[in-house]
Structure 1
Amino acid sequence: MTTEEFYKDLSYVNASRENRLKNAKLVLRDMSLFPKLLDILFMVDDKVSCKAAWVFEFVCSEYIYAIVPHLDQFTINLKKIHLDSAVRPVAKVCELIAKEYDSKLPNPLKKTLTSVHKERIIEACFDWMISGQKVAPKAYSMETLFLFGKDSNWIHQELVLILEQDFQKESAGFKARAKRTLQKIKKSKKQA
């Protein structure tokens, strides 16, 4: 399937879980579609990029290692994502990457994720935290920054500042997630 053909298929994707899952399974069965999915995802001013992002999230939720050979492309282009419907699933994938990287078990992401990749993800997450994003991308970003901050104290320090500064003006969902993240940071400092 060409990128153009795949683009056309993705243009019919709707927000239903069943529809997104069907398209994710198509990619999981034929991983040659994964780079095409990324190419469409990074057509950031095109509404179909949001649909690609939905499918991308489902693929990575099912098989996070699909991203491993594409970490350069993914992390370089992260900061370009700006449409709300694309930011949320991409932020979720960043969280999935951080969780896998934080895993106690050896895995392909631990071997492949470089400090440059992490820096790009961290930068994107901080941008989502301080911009006018909705709660979900901010929640995923909080978790990503918490996990990557275990190795870099400055990340936790910056995250605490942002959470405390934004706490009063944010929604109840944000406040609940922020409170939990602040508690986890405090607990991790005690253990260190």
Structure 2
Amino acid sequence: MTKTELYELLDYVNHSREKRMEMARMVLSNSELVQPLFEIGFDVDNPISSKACWILEFTAREKLAYIFPHLDVFTTGLGIVHFDSSIRPLAKICELLVVSYYSKEKNTTQKALTRVHLESITEACFDWLIGDSKVAPKAYAMTSLLLLGQTFDWIHPELKIIVEQHYATGSAAYKARARMVLAKLK
């Protein structure tokens, strides 16, 4: 399947879980589709890019290793994405990667992610946390940063300050995640 054909199929994807999973199954059956999906996803001024990011998230949830060959593209592209509907799935992929990386059980994510990747994810997570992102990316960022603080000792103090500063004005969902993070930071 060509990038153009994939692009046309994405036009039929809507926000429903069923449609996103249907498309993700196609990608899961053909890992070569991940690269053009990333290309479309990081065409950041094109509204269809969000649909590609949705499919990347569903693919990563099922088979995280499909992201590994594209980690350089993924991590360098995190800072340029600006649609909320693209940021949320990318933040979730970051959380999936970081949770897997810090798992107590040995796994392939620990070999795939480099320090440079972790630094890029850290930067993106802080941008989402202090920026105008919606609550879901902020929650995913908090979880990721909490774990990344095991590698970068400066993260926990910064994370604590930011979460406490925004707690009073945060939504109920933000406050729930913030309480969990703050409890683990003590």
Q: TM-score range by the shorter chain?
A: over 0.9
TM-score computed with the length of structure 2 as normaliser: 0.98
Q: Matches of 1:94 and 1:185 in 2, distance apart?
A: 20
SS in 2 for 1:104: coil
Task: Using the TM superposition, give the Cα deviation of residue 151 of structure 1 relative to its aligned residue in structure 2, in angstroms.
Answer: 2.2
- Residue 120 of structure 1 is matched in structure 2 by 120
Encode CA deviations 1:111-146: one digit per residue, 9 max, x unaligned: 121110000000000000011111100000000000
Q: Is residue 2:137 matched to residue 1:137?
A: yes
Q: Is residue 2:95 matched to residue 1:80?
A: no
- Residue 108 of structure 1 is matched in structure 2 by 108
Aligned 8 A contact 1:27 1:34 in 2: yes
Q: Matches of 2:128 and 2:83 in 1, distance apart?
A: 12
Unmatched 5+ stretches in structure 1: 187-192
* Cα-Cα RMSD: 0.7
Task: Using the TM superposition, give the Cα deviation of residue 169 of structure 1 relative to its aligned residue in structure 2, in angstroms.
Answer: 1.3
Q: Matches of 2:4 and 2:142 in 1, distance apart?
A: 36
Aligned 8 A contact 1:145 1:159 in 2: yes
Aligned 8 A contact 1:68 1:108 in 2: no
Q: Matches of 1:103 and 1:170 in 2, distance apart?
A: 29
Unmatched 5+ stretches in structure 2: none
Q: Matches of 1:92 and 1:37 in 2, distance apart?
A: 16
- Residue 52 of structure 1 is matched in structure 2 by 52
Task: Using the TM superposition, give the Cα deviation of residue 70 of structure 1 relative to its aligned residue in structure 2, in angstroms.
Answer: 0.8
Moved over 4 A (4+): none
- Residue 162 of structure 1 is matched in structure 2 by 162
Q: Matches of 1:114 and 1:32 in 2, distance apart?
A: 23
- Residue 174 of structure 2 is matched in structure 1 by 174
Task: Using the TM superposition, give the Cα deviation of residue 152 of structure 1 relative to its aligned residue in structure 2, in angstroms.
Answer: 2.0
Task: Using the TM superposition, give the Cα deviation of residue 171 of structure 1 relative to its aligned residue in structure 2, in angstroms.
Answer: 1.0
Q: Matches of 2:104 and 2:174 in 1, distance apart?
A: 28
Q: Matches of 1:157 and 1:63 in 2, distance apart?
A: 33
Q: Matches of 2:159 and 2:170 in 1, distance apart?
A: 15
Letter in 2 for 1:59: T
Q: Matches of 2:135 and 2:32 in 1, distance apart?
A: 33
Task: Using the TM superposition, give the Cα deviation of residue 12 of structure 1 relative to its aligned residue in structure 2, in angstroms.
Answer: 1.1
Q: Matches of 2:74 and 2:155 in 1, distance apart?
A: 21
Q: Matches of 2:172 and 2:106 in 1, distance apart?
A: 37
TM-score computed with the length of structure 1 as normaliser: 0.95
